[in-house]
Amino acid sequence: MKRILIVEDDISIAEIQRDFLEIEGYNITIVTDGLEGYKTAKAEKFDLILLDLMLPNMNGIDICRGIRGEVDVPIIMVTAKGDETDKIRGLGLGADDYIAKPFSPTELVARVKANLAQYERLKSKMGDGVGGDKRANQLNAGSVSINLSTHRVHVHGEEVDLKNKEYELLVFMAQNPDMVFSKEHLYERIWGMDSFGDLKTVAVHISRLREKIEKDPQNPAHIETVWGAGYRFKI
């Protein structure tokens, strides 16, 4: 049974989240204090974290920043509708996705299922590569080298730290060079949903990826913007 941690100070919202997720068979833990949520996320094993931004004693941004290096599971930020700055900050700190209040239970369940499924597929791909042909598990794209077995990425020989969705975006685009992908296509392919979600999520992850693999992120050599169409990876 998958375990989900809900860090939400509004107990009525947390209980609604819990009820609908328990119907789907998930085991739910609710924490209403930010600092306690931070400690719980680090001390216990969860498969996904639903993290509100506005919390007592420690906000969601600081929690995400503090746990992301140690907790390798999907994090979905819960934000106020229209609060673009916090959405971008959360995604930039390693959150995989976000959902804006008020949201429908159907959307919540869809986001949780999609993020868990994508995470499982990524881990499965990593496991499949262990012990195989090292050359077959190595993807070289210009200055970028990707080890598909170990999930490690090097740029000009230096290792860079990519979050889960950043890594998935890079691998997908590098495996399909010169092809133009719209934000909608990338969202559906990487996040696993075609009807929910804000396409700013894609733009923020592309921006973060450029900062990590491009010598000059403002004039990218690899991830090009094709105006009016989407993005293209150049080797």
Please check whether residue 38 is in contact with residue 57, taking contact to mean a CB–CB distance below 8 angstroms.
Answer: no
Residue 197: predicted pLDDT: 57
**Residues of the chain predicted below pLDDT 70:** 81-84, 125-136, 193-198
Determine if the pTM surpasses 0.75: no
The pLDDT assigned to 194 comes to 59
pLDDT for res 127: 58
pLDDT of residue 72: 85
- Give the per-residue pLDDT at 195: 46
Which pLDDT does position 128 carry in this prediction? 55
The beta strands (E) that lie in 62-167 are given as 75-80, 97-101, 138-141, 144-147, 152-155, 158-160
